[in-house]
Structure 1
Amino acid sequence: MRLFTAAIPPPAVLDHLAAALDGVGNVDWVPRSSWHITLGYYGEDDPETRVSWVREQVKGLVAPTISLTDTGNFGHTLWMGVSAVDSSFTALGEALRCDDRHDWHPHLTIGHGERLDLAYSGPQWTVDEVVLLGAEQRYEYTVLDRLRFAG
């Protein structure tokens, strides 16, 4: 099973984004139920071992405040950017990455298609938990663990 950690925006944030995307272009949309911000990707891994590692990495970290912002793309993959309101989001991303081969570019994948130029500024929210997700198939994720921030 492929594993990764993610922040899942709250329903009000997803509603705001969905309203902004309504009627936009010719896009093969990612199902809303799969929208998330990847914090760390671990590939094929043992869930039990990864749960322990993630729990240790998150210890002592502060819940970050973030928002979604303008669109971007990686080839035909379309995404919303993440605006970090405080440095705790960077600390969280650094703690949960284990692959230094790629720069971390936090984003929420929304679909596939031609480049979108959509100015967007979503509501701020505090990431109150990190989820460890398992994926057997594309856009079909299983929550394996939830790690709530203290406080």
Structure 2
Amino acid sequence: MRLFTAAVPPLEVLQQLATALKATGDGDWVPQDSWHITLGYYGEDDAETRVPWVRERMRGLVAPKVSLTDAGNFGHTLWMGVSRVDPAFNALGEALRWNDRHDWHPHLTVGHGDEPLDLPYSSPEWTIDEVVLIGARRRYEYTVVDRFGFAV
């Protein structure tokens, strides 16, 4: 199973974004219940090994504050950016990266299309209160394998 760590925005942030996207017209949107901010991608991996790795890497980290920002695209992928003004968010991303496969560009994938998404946007700020380890066997069919909170 493909594994990755993610932060899921609160429901009110997701609903506000869905309303903003609806105003842009019809699109090939990712199902809202699949929206997340990927923190680390591990590819085909064993959950029993990855869970303690994530738990150890999160030790001592502080819950970061973030918000969603303007839209962008990677080729055919349409996304919303994530603010990186809180150094705790950058620390979280660095801690959960594995194998330095790619530069980390935090985002929330919202859809697919040939035209860039023109959506000036800023969501309310929220605190990421947990990280989830997600398993995926198929695209947008995700299973939460484990949840990790921040020490107080």
TM-score normalised over the length of structure 2: 0.97
Pairwise CA distance, 1:53: 0.2
Whole-Å separation in 1 of the counterparts to 2:102 and 2:141: 24
Alignment RMSD: 0.9
Structure 1 Cα separation of the partners of residues 85 and 129 of structure 2: 14
Structure 1's 85 and 40: CA in aligned 2 closer, same or farther, altered over 3 A? same
Q: Deviations over 1:77-136 (max 9, x none)?
A: 000000123100000000000131310000000000121111001000000000000000
Distance 1:27 1:7 in 2: 24
CA distance in 2, matches of 1:99, 1:75: 24
Matched, 1:32 2:32: yes
What are the equivalent positions in structure 2 for 1:106-145 lying under 5 Å apart?
Answer: 106-113=106-113, 114-145=115-146
Counterpart of 2:18 in structure 1 is 18
After superposition, residues 1-151 of structure 1 pair within 5 angstroms as 1-113=1-113, 114-151=115-152
Asked whether the equivalents of residues 67 and 85 of structure 1 are also in contact (C-alpha less than 8 Å), the reply is no
TM superposition outliers: structure 1 runs of 4+ over 3 Å: none
Q: Secondary structure at the match of 1:121?
A: coil
Using the TM superposition, name which of 17-26 and 119-128 deviates more. Answer: 17-26
Q: 1:24: how far off?
A: 1.5
Work out the percentage of aligned pairs sharing the same amino acid: 74
Q: Which amino acid aligns with 1:42?
A: Y
What is the CA deviation profile of residues 31-61 of structure 1, one whole-angstrom value per residue up to 9, with x for unaligned ones?
Answer: 0000000000000000010001000000100
Report if aligned partners of 1:132, 1:145 keep a CA contact under 8 Å in 2: yes
TM-score of the superposed pair, with normalisation by structure 1 = 0.97
> Which runs of no fewer than 5 residues in structure 2 stay unpaired?
none
Looking at structure 2, the residues matched to 85 and 67 of structure 1 have their Cα atoms a distance apart, in angstroms, of 9
